[in-house]
Amino acid sequence: MTGTLLLVAFLFSGPVPMAVWAVPVLGAVLGAGALLGHRFNLWGLLFRHGLVPILRLGPPLNLKPAAPARFAMILGTLFLAVATVLLLVSTGTGILHWVGWALALMVAALALLAAITELCVGCEIYNLVLRLRTRRIPGD
């Protein structure tokens, strides 16, 4: 959802400059899920209380650790926060404006990538950092 909404906001931010406010709003939604946990993730709440009962979906087949996903969400929140500052400071044109949108589009692309291919770049970064910090790996 985050990725799709960011792309839509970018598409219409030309004719509708107010669409730029979608960036901080989506950043706040992402940040709430990252800081408070997946139970407070807006999209997760909509899915659990909206789609699950309507489509009568069962429990997930396998669960993954939450820490890498939350780290990825924190990264996304930071990127969107910086993008928000750049977009609000700029006057709708100029290098700061496009750098801000580039950061927002990066978050959108990675969010969509994670949703469609299950390839979470933030999670991979988390695991890599963990592996580099924990130098003593059995057998390595």
Partner 1 sequence: MTDLMWRTGIILAILLLIATTWYLQHRRRHRTWAPRIPRMDPTDLPHAPDPLLLVVFTSRFCVACSEVLRTASTTAPEIPVVQLPMHENPHAPQRYGLVETPTLFLVDEQRRIRYTALGHVDEEELWLYVREAWDSSTLARTITAQRRAQ
Contact flag: residue 43 with partner 1 (CB under 8 A): no
Given the complex with partner 1, which of 42 and 127 has the nearer CB atom?
Answer: 127
13 touches 24 (CB < 8 A): no
CA separation for the pair 73, 123 (Å, rounded): 9
Which distant-in-sequence residues (6+ apart) come within 8 Å of 77 by Cβ? 27, 30, 31, 34
Whole-number minimum distance, CB 85 to partner 1, in Å?
Answer: 22
Given the complex with partner 1, which of 59 and 140 has the nearer CB atom?
Answer: 140
Given the complex with partner 1, which of 91 and 117 has the nearer CB atom?
Answer: 117
Contact flag: residue 7 with partner 1 (CB under 8 A): yes
76 touches 82 (CB < 8 A): no
Annotate each residue in 114-133 with x if it binds partner 1 (CB under 8 A) or - if it does not, as one string.
--xx-x----x--xx--xx-
Reference 33, options 4, 64, 5, 75; nearest CA is 75
**Residue position matching structure tokens 């589009």:** 105
Whole-number minimum distance, CB 37 to partner 1, in Å?
Answer: 23
Give the binding-site size for partner 1 (rule: CB under 8 A).
Answer: 23
Given phi > 0 = left and psi -120 to 50 = alpha, else beta, which region is 41? Answer: beta
**Given the rule CB under 8 A, which residues bind partner 1?**
7, 10-11, 13-15, 105, 108-109, 112-113, 116-117, 119, 124, 127-128, 131-132, 137-140
